A = this chain, B = another copy of it.
Amino acid sequence: MKNTILLDKRPVGTPQVSDFKFTQEEVQEPKSGEILLETKYVSVDPYLRGRMNDAKSYIPPFELQKPIVSGIVAEVIESKNNNFSKGDYVSGMLEWKRKQVSTGEDLHKVDPAQAPLSAYLGILGMTGLTAYLGLTEIGKPKEGETLLVSGAAGAVGSVVGQIGKIMGLRVVGIAGSDEKIRMLKSEFGFDEGINYKTTGNMKEAIAKACPNGVDVYFDNVGGDISDAVLFNINKFARMVICGAISVYNETSLPKGLSVQPFLIKNSALMQGFIIGNFTEKFPEAMQQLAGWLKAGKLNYEETIVEGFENIPQAFIDLFSGKNKGKMVVKV
């Protein structure tokens, strides 16, 4: 049985299933200090696209003919490490394999009694941390301000919006279908939503949905949508640059409006980040998120695709927005 997914070719533009290769590799026996893991849930995320290019970035590119690595929840099925027992569940950055051996380093135990296992890849994992720390550390939201979120129906965006509501902001989301807009309002408590696919003039639509202007923009998409936001920012606006999914598949360098005149005019800030910049804040953030989740203040949406063989397609579907909330593959 094919048990491993390698990067076969570097994608050009939108990734294709043929950029990946399924192989059968021998599963090693765990040695002393090691554990044998069986993959349960695999996280597919837009940022993985960047690692498929052969370009310097904040993390090194994936190597060709090597397994892809992403967030995974796995079960310990054999343990020769005193810190882990058979039957434990762990979360961490692991390879796209059905089974793999690990030293346990950088893996965290997760508790299926506290939350469904898939949540540890989403709201209680990198997704939730990205939303919470990006919004609070860079966006610095203040009660009564207006928060605009792009990619609002995505994994991170839907959490950002809810945290904004908890903190007392007016929250407006941008997403790509009427169904997603309904979900933003009914499930996640957004005040207003904009369907960018059916809205002719985004600049005016944002102005209408944000009558007091935009104080914090949490940007998951980049491109034309983010250009339209620039016309609507307030003085001292903070633009949290979390992702740019709209341009990840471009084969030449994307262009857009020069942001500098807007930044000067409004004394505004744009800042990019990766969650790894804030590791020392993880415990505090996790506690906050788990508390809100337990208190019923945070909803989360998942799109769960079944089957190891469907991991590449699930990843590719992120770029056409087929997911609502966090996209996870159940193996």
Binding site for B on A (CB under 8 A): 50, 57-58, 219, 222-223, 226, 235, 241-244, 247, 253-274, 277
Contact = CB atoms under 8 A, between A and B. Distances in A.
B270 A263 contact: yes
Contacts of A258: 222-223, 244, 247, 253-256
Contact of A272 (B244, B265, B273): B265
Contacts of A265: 50, 57-58, 272
A58 B235 contact: yes
Contacts of A262: 272
A254 B261 CA distance: 9
Contact of A263 (B57, B268, B271, B277): B271
Contacts of A253: 257-258
Q: Which 6 residue pairs across A and B have the least CB separation, nearest first?
A: A263-B272, A264-B272, A254-B258, A222-B260, A269-B271, A256-B258
Given A269-B269, A271-B268, A241 B255 contact: no
A47 to B, nearest CB: 9
Contacts of A58: 235, 264-267
A272 B262 CA distance: 8
Contact of A244 (B260, B270, B273): B260
Contacts of A247: 258, 260-261
A58 B234 CA distance: 10
Nearest to A268: B272
Contacts of A223: 258
Given A222-B261, A241-B264, A243-B264, 4 more contacts: A219-B260, A222-B258, A256-B256, A267-B277
Max chain B C-beta neighbours (<10 A), residue from A254, A262, A265: A265
B271 A270 contact: yes
Nearest to A253: B257
Contacts of A50: 265
Contacts of A241: 260, 263-264
A262 B277 CA distance: 16
Given A58-B266, A269-B269, A261 B244 contact: yes
A257 B254 contact: yes
Given A222-B258, A235-B58, A258-B222, A274 B269 contact: no
A269 B270 contact: yes
Max chain B C-beta neighbours (<10 A), residue from A219, A235, A244, A272: A272
Contacts of A273: 264, 267
